Amino acid sequence: MLRKLQLLMLLLSFVSLEAQSDGMEKWLLPTSVPQPKDNKLTQERVELGRLLYFDTRLSRGNQLSCASCHHPERGWTDLIPTSKAVGFDGRVGPRNSPTILNAAYQKHQFWDGRVKSLEQQALGPITADVEMNMPLELLIPKLKKIKGYVKLFKKAYPDEGLTQKTVAKAIASFERTVVSTESPFDRYAKGDASAISQEAKEGFELFKGKAHCTECHDGFNFSDGSFQNIGLHDGELQGKELGRYNVKNRAAWYGVFKTPTLRDVTKSYPYFHDGSVKTLKEATVICSQGGRFEHNVRNKSDVMVDRHLNEAEVEKIVTFMKTLTGPDLQIKIPTKFPQ
């Protein structure tokens, strides 16, 4: 898996001179993913993380894995598209499952951005009572009874062994390999004018121009990592709908959520943090009109204003966003796990 990632990054490094001259390089994926100094990618770490990611034994009741809500065959979101994540014992989570695609490039993790690293993120769903519901004080002894895992941890982290920290490191290592494949838009950005249709090209210009989509969905990941209240709900917000405000009670964080990537966006429906929208066109209309609600929305982002797009313009933008979808990343889903 790591070798495939390295090959992909090498291929992405060959940016055409035409793309550079047209200023298109900003839309192309970097040639490497960020890695912390204490958890550099190795084949052993990625392979261990892949096994842990798909292993249901990391959950209470041995029924759920990380892939249950972030599956490679569903755009790295729910295998069965639902508005909210479904976890342990059928419990429904408070938010839509976000894709983990290109999470390695994000500065904050989770919809509310409450942690900054994939290592911190990795253990959250495992311990959450509405998700995998497995306390770490039970998980680590459970894994230590599996001789195969003990050996794999010794190889991957010889100076650390099997601990809460290395479980997080291993899963994060695998997640760092979950990166976008080359899409039609990428080929266009590299100089292949025939890679996307004329309607998609016009949609791209609208995306950057009249629609102001790049106010939030900018750069190679089509997300600037910002947090916005896009006006999906009016009136006073409660509970998880408060968004980043729950992390710290700052007025500017009231009801704001992280801007998601648009890479492979056709695969990751339903849309928005609450999963309230089923189609890409409806999501585009809501954003282009300045949100679902115009009045009585506390702290709605300044960028959320009506852009006065007609239906044809919306269709062109949707056509463009569809070109951001590439082939599925080739991930071998384990059928056997350490014993």
Q: CA geometry: angle at 157 spanning 156 and 159, to 5°?
A: 150
Q: CA geometry: angle at 188 spanning 284 and 312, to 5°?
A: 30
What contacts 223, CB < 8 A, 6 or more positions away?
Answer: 106, 216, 217, 258, 259, 260, 261, 262
Q: Check if 241 is active-site.
A: no
What contacts 258, CB < 8 A, 6 or more positions away?
Answer: 98, 106, 108, 110, 111, 112, 113, 223, 225, 226, 227, 244
Q: Which of 131, 241, 311, 315 is catalytic?
A: 131
E strands, the chain, in order: 227-228, 257-258
Question: Angle, to 10 degrees, between the axis of helix 164-175 and the axis of helix 118-127?
Answer: 110
Burial class of residue 327, CB neighbours in 10 A (0-12, 13-18, 19+): exposed
- What residues pair up with 86 in beta bridges, in sequence order? 92
227's tokens:
């947090």
- Bond from prior residue into 270 cis (ω within 30 degrees of 0): yes
Report helix, strand or coil for 271: strand
- Active site residue ranges: 131
